[in-house]
Amino acid sequence: EAAGKIEPENKQLFRIAESIRSKALSLYNEASAHLMNGEHVKSIRNLNASLLANPTADAYRLRATVYRHSKKFDSAIEDLKTAMSIVHSESKGKESASVKELEEIHIQMGVTLNDIGCSLLKMNKVRDAITCFRK
């Protein structure tokens, strides 16, 4: 979030950074609406654009949710790992906020691993499913 480090004294750059963050948030909100409507491709498209403009843990977490609903479990896990990394790097001095965010990411990771296990069970890969459930 390099844009967040711009000093307010440089008003023009500050306005540009705010505009970029605003657009990224708008894309994130549109992606969330698309997810609720089951429009996964549109949701991913908006999240990709949002992440290009302003990569946030929330956007990675939402994209992980879309990937999970699309059965793209490897991509979901990668996005959750990236979200964790962002929270860790931004959490210096903000312990309480980061603990809650990390807890939410860990819960989503558990849900994703559960979905993988269920998919493996449907394919009669019982041992692999058990291994996944134990993670």
For residue range 56-104, list pLDDT tens digits in order.
Answer: 999 999 999 999 999 999 999 999 999 999 998 887 766 666 788 889 9
Of the candidates 36, 38, 34, 31, the one whose C-alpha atom is nearest the C-alpha of residue 58 is 31
- Using alpha carbons only, give the angle 110, 94, 6 rounded to the nearest 5 degrees: 110
With 70 as the cut, is the pLDDT of residue 2 above it?
A: no
Task: Tell me the pTM.
Answer: 0.84
CA dihedral over 92, 22, 101, 71, signed as positive or negative: negative
Residue with tokens 């990236």: 82
